[in-house]
Amino acid sequence: MSRALLIVDVQNDFTEGGALAVEGGDAVASAISTFLTEHAADYRVIVASRDWHDADGDNGGHFSEQPDFVDTWPVHCVADTDGAAYDPLLATDAVTHHVRKGQGRPAYSMFEGTTDAGETVSAVLTEFGVLSADVVGIATDHCVRASALDAIAHGVQVRILADLVAGVAPEPSAAALAELAHAGAVLIESAEA
């Protein structure tokens, strides 16, 4: 059975010091790198996503000068800026597919993005016969949640490596993990993977 690792949005703007910094983001980036050192060979496919928003315009209403932090946000992860780059603590040498999402419109799930070759995550998982996936990254209560739900909808058995995710806030993050468990995801620690 082919397994994938889905690494969601471990980017400078979502880690400490970024435009939408998540507490613990750098620690998650570092921990994912350590995990990859030991486990990269366990995965047929390793997909890493990045928000990749247009510099001009509001990206379909995604950016706002008065954000509500639910549907609208401050400017973040603008294409080709340092904020959109992977956190330097994240080792990406084992990543097999890099996905960019947003690009002029709101996008939370990595399944809304494409690789440089124009492939969707769904197409990549199907091509490699992926039936199960481990999900890690930022933010638990937004893009990790959306990506994991889309993986489940794609028919993939999902495990959330709970010590390798970081959320915006504790309550919505706990609610997101509960929703994912209800949808069929299994919550484990990376040591159990």
| Number of domains comprising the chain | 1
Tens of pLDDT, residue by residue over 65-96, are 999 988 899 999 999 999 999 999 999 999 99
Does 116 fall in a domain? yes
Q: Is 170 exposed, middle or buried (0-12, 13-18, 19+ CB in 10 A)?
A: exposed
Query: Whole-model pTM?
Result: 0.97
CATH number where 120 lies: 3.40.50.850
Q: Beginning with the edge strand found earlier in the chain, give each strand of the sheet holding 186-188 in spatial order.
A: 114-115, 97-102, 45-52, 2-8, 130-138, 157-166, 186-188
Does 62 fall in a domain? no
Range of the domain at 16: 2-50+85-192
pLDDT at res. 54? 94
pLDDT at res. 20? 96
Q: How confident is the model at residue 175 (pLDDT cuts 50, 70, 90)?
A: very high
Does 26 fall in a domain? yes
Does 77 fall in a domain? no
Does 60 fall in a domain? no
Catalytic positions are 9, 101, 143
